Chain A
Amino acid sequence: MHIHQSSLSPKLKDNRYSIYRGRTRLLLALFILILAVSTGRFFYLQIIKGGELRDLREQNINDFEYIYPKRGRILSSDGVVLAEDRKIYSIAIDLEQKPSERSIEVFANIFSDKTDFESVKSKVEQSLKFRRSDIVLTKIGQEELAKFLVRGEDLIGFSIVEDYERQYDPHPSFFHVLGHMGYLNQSDIDHFSPKIDGYNPKLWRKVGKSGIERVYENELQGKHGTKFFQRNARGDRRVITDQEPFSEGNEIRLSIDYSAQKLAYELMQNNKGSIVVIDLKDFSIPVAVSTPSISANDLRGISTAQYQELLNDPSRPLFNRAFMGLYPPGSSIKPLFATFALSNAYTTWEETIFDDGFFRFEEEQRVFNAWKEGGHGYTDLSKALIESSNPFFMNLSVKYEKSKFVELLESSSFGSKLCEDCYPHQYSPLINDSWKRKNFGKDLFKGDFINLGIGQGYMLTTPLHLSLIAGILASKGQYKLPYLAKSNSLEFSINVDIGEADWVKLNQALIDVVYSSNGTGYRINAGNLNLAGKSGTAQVVDISSREEYDEVRENINLRDHAIFIGYAPFDDPRYSIAVIVENGESGGRVAGPIARDVLKELLDDI
């Protein structure tokens, strides 16, 4: 049996054998030692660290994602839905059942009008490459949805995804008030973080960028639901284990009157400008219109180029003139200054001056032109208001004490927030020494007051503020801050001290502006509307001579802005209004009739 029998001595053989035995035992001992170490290691992993590792496994497997909530609706005061989230259907790539060549072909055939085989195929490839469930087609219609569902078996690898899209009332009058939604960026995060408790920007794709959508983001946004699922390592297989539904955002009801708002916008026709109405019952805002405007729906899915085009449009449709536009109030500010002059005894109802169409400022030896050639003749305060005499108010304004004037402006909300939920809105600048120093490096001097006193020069107000000033006059100096959805209920009053008789006389003068044949607003033909008000024209350019004026008129964009502020009914005021028609020239003839029709619509509703 053994071929190679060597002739070693038994002793040597024993020696080799015992070395072998010894070494084998050593290796066996090593084996047992390592086996014991391994046992210890498994004991450590499975019994000592078992719970911890098990938790890690659960973290591996169990994942969740948020379900985007349905955003709250925005309603008009009369319950018309102005903004709501509507369900839309999209088609996404299903990672669990990858689309086959055949199903891509069927898909491309069904939606041949929207896409083609190659583009679907490349989307599928991208999607699978990055293991994302990409959307192939978004916002498919009911009919397309039905087609998809019918062919379901041939479309393995594609699935329907439900989502919400913000849908707005398409009328352009609502855009500026409602605002718009956009993708969240850093400035939004900075804006909302201090305002919303526990704000988690990671949860939100889109947020309100302007208007009510932004102001009431917290109320409207709702709360996410959660979808719990188990997933595999590659993330292409999911088993849903639990689901918590989202809670829909709160509804916001605005003070905006649906039909009056639309009518107001239509009345502006092709003019640029703004209309703001305040309900004096609670200082809510039933009408806030800025023209021109766009439909709020138009900003969804707009391309950058289209957006740039809108931004560069010289008529500035994205600019909310009602809350942001600063206009010189012109003569429309005169009634407010009348109360100031009476309160500080700069004049009385009886004082009369002779208005020859000029005001001579002796101190500086300057002569100011008034709008009416030849002037208004002998003029008292009432006539100065009814016929809008500039020399009368210029004559008063040189008497104004700077500190008291600034107090009046301050108490009329110049330089401060006008409205909590108008976003964005511009403050009308508070004209005082520090303002002038900041802008012109000098303090206010007497000459400034001549222009300020007739609502020109540095004086600038927003349409919202002008409407509020009309409201202040109608409610005899008492007011609250206007609002669109929620009032802060704080009461304010202007810093004038005049008696009931003065308010009655002022009211009468403003009635006469509209109803007396020499009133600047007589052409309004206000009829039984019981409208009181004051017209104004705001100079776009500074003109020193009448010849120049005619030249300027040639250019439409340099024509004066037409302004009318007023309230109705004059015996028991309910609404105040401000109408500004850019380059409309005549407050009485152009802005006044618009104010009349808007107020009529509102008062007829009551």
Chain B
Amino acid sequence: MTFDLRTTILVFSLALIILMGSLTVYSVTSIDVYYFFRFLLISIFAVLLVTLIFNQINLNRILSVGWVLFVLNIIIVLSVELFGSEIKGSKRWIDFGFLSLQPSEFMKITFALFVIQYLRFYSFQFNTFRSFFLLGVLFLSAIPIIIQPDLGTGLVYVLLGLMLLFICGMNKFYFISMAIFGILLSPIIYSFGLTAYQKSRIISWFSSDQTLSEKWNILQSEISIGSGGIFGEGFLNSKQNEFNFLPEADTDFIFSIYAEQFGFLGVLIIFILVGLFILLATIISMEQKRLTDDLSPYFLGTYFSLVIGFSFLLNILMVSGLIPVVGLPLPFFTKGGSSLLCFSIMIGLIFSSRSFLR
């Protein structure tokens, strides 16, 4: 890696995001300072380690086992359903004692490796069969996630998978027709395809009845955010957290606690950092250092940058009440092994694909 100005800014903004994320996790749990350092170090190490590992391993090697990783991942997701621990009515975690992982999170990565491996064989030329095949694999592989049940992760997985196919150049006719079908079929999917719990989440988002518990979560989240005002309540001063009014304050809704502590200015800083990071990462990935026939490094770098960017946005939209509550982690904020590991791998792949291009 060469450290030109853009890379410096890129790394710097990532470092700041990780720092702010660790501080916020610490402020939510506020067990002790040791906890903060632990989380910070784990985050930094995860990113560095994974980046270094992926730097060492040739991207071609990884890509050559893409489908193996993907199939393995699906098998693990399915076995979690049989042997995993149940949290809040859905089985999606494997408990390693020190770390509990949600294998479905990794499918965003393994699916991408599989797609790139597959397309590269055909020089990224789509035809009808390949398009239908990849779409079929995408939708079928989403089923194990959705039946966990984890509609949120499954839905995001499908959307991000579609984004990958879009980046890779699949005919836009497919996207347009899927959009139309999706809109037309949504009432039927809602009636027959969703569990009562999933329906309640959707209903609550459209309902104005503040007593519904889902709506209550959103209200409490908005209260946290709004209470921050311009300058925020100050570090460790989140009352919504102190008095336990915000559920899932250390995971899905952690950004609301951040917003209460650091106010609109703090939010702007994170938005700018994330915006800078995603823009630079994508632009750098997109850049033609040397025109090669193999476009996989471009696709991978861009895809993972945008995955991080849109994951961030989806969480932000959720906590601020613009989309229904779906359990989506906030990159480098949410306290959770799998999302940290997952996003670290993505960062690693972004950097390694970039160095691959040089």
Contacts from A to B (Cβ < 8 Å): 1-6, 8, 10, 13, 16-17, 19-21, 23-24, 27-28, 31-32, 34-35, 37-39, 41-43, 45-47, 49-54, 56-57, 60-61, 230-234, 237
Name the A residues within 8 Å of B222 (CB-CB). Answer: 45, 49, 53
- Bound: A38/B245 CA distance, A: 23
CB-based contact A57/B229 at 8 Å: no
Contact status of A38 and B230, CB under 8 A, knowing A60-B223, A233-B244 = no
CB-based contact A231/B243 at 8 Å: yes
Q: Which 9 pairs from chain A and chain B are nearest by CB?
A: A53-B226, A6-B123, A232-B243, A46-B264, A50-B229, A233-B244, A232-B244, A54-B227, A233-B245
Q: In the complex, what's the smallest C-beta–C-beta distance from A448 to chain B, in angstroms?
A: 68
Contacting residues of chain B (276-321) with chain A, CB-CB under 8 angstroms: 278-279, 282-283, 286, 288, 291-295, 298-299, 302, 306, 309-310, 313, 316-317, 320-321
CB-based contact A230/B226 at 8 Å: no
What are 19 A-B contacts defined by CB distance under 8 Å?
A4-B294, A13-B291, A20-B299, A23-B167, A32-B279, A34-B317, A35-B274, A38-B313, A38-B320, A39-B271, A41-B320, A42-B259, A45-B222, A54-B229, A57-B245, A230-B243, A232-B242, A232-B244, A233-B243
CB-based contact B317/A8 at 8 Å: no
Contacts from B to A (Cβ < 8 Å): 60, 120-121, 123-124, 163, 166-169, 219-220, 222-230, 239-240, 242-245, 259, 263-264, 267-268, 271, 274-275, 278-279, 282-283, 286, 288, 291-295, 298-299, 302, 306, 309-310, 313, 316-317, 320-322
A26 nearest CB neighbor, chain B only: B166
Name the A residues within 8 Å of B322 (CB-CB). Answer: 37-38, 41
Name the B residues within 8 Å of A35 (CB-CB). Answer: 271, 274-275, 313
- Bound: A38/B323 CA distance, A: 11
CB-based contact B264/A42 at 8 Å: yes
Name the A residues within 8 Å of B263 (CB-CB). Answer: 46
CB-based contact A49/B293 at 8 Å: no
CB-based contact A27/B167 at 8 Å: yes
CB-based contact A27/B163 at 8 Å: yes
CB-based contact A54/B271 at 8 Å: no
Q: In the complex, what's the smallest C-beta–C-beta distance from A179 to chain B, in angstroms?
A: 43
CB-based contact A234/B244 at 8 Å: yes
Name the B residues within 8 Å of A42 (CB-CB). Answer: 225, 259, 264, 267, 271, 320
Q: What's the dominant secondary structure at chain A's contact region?
A: helix
Contact of B240 among A21, A57, A234 (CB under 8 A): A57
Contact status of A60 and B278, CB under 8 A, knowing A24-B286, A52-B226 = no
Contact of A20 among B168, B223, B245 (CB under 8 A): B168
A17 nearest CB neighbor, chain B only: B295
Name the B residues within 8 Å of A52 (CB-CB). Answer: 226
- Bound: A25/B163 CA distance, A: 13
CB-based contact B293/A56 at 8 Å: no
B356 nearest CB neighbor, chain A only: A1
Q: In the complex, what's the smallest C-beta–C-beta distance from B349 to chain A, in angstroms?
A: 16
B166 nearest CB neighbor, chain A only: A23
- Bound: A24/B166 CA distance, A: 9
Q: In the complex, what's the smallest C-beta–C-beta distance from A50 to chain B, in angstroms?
A: 4
CB-based contact B120/A4 at 8 Å: yes
CB-based contact A60/B240 at 8 Å: yes
Contact of B229 among A2, A6, A46, A60 (CB under 8 A): A46
- Bound: A50/B268 CA distance, A: 16
Contact of A31 among B60, B121, B298, B313 (CB under 8 A): B313
Q: In the complex, what's the smallest C-beta–C-beta distance from A168 to chain B, in angstroms?
A: 44
Q: A6-B123, A46-B259, A237-B244 are in contact. List 10 more A-B contacts (CB 8 A).
A: A1-B60, A16-B169, A20-B299, A23-B169, A27-B163, A38-B317, A41-B321, A230-B243, A232-B245, A234-B244
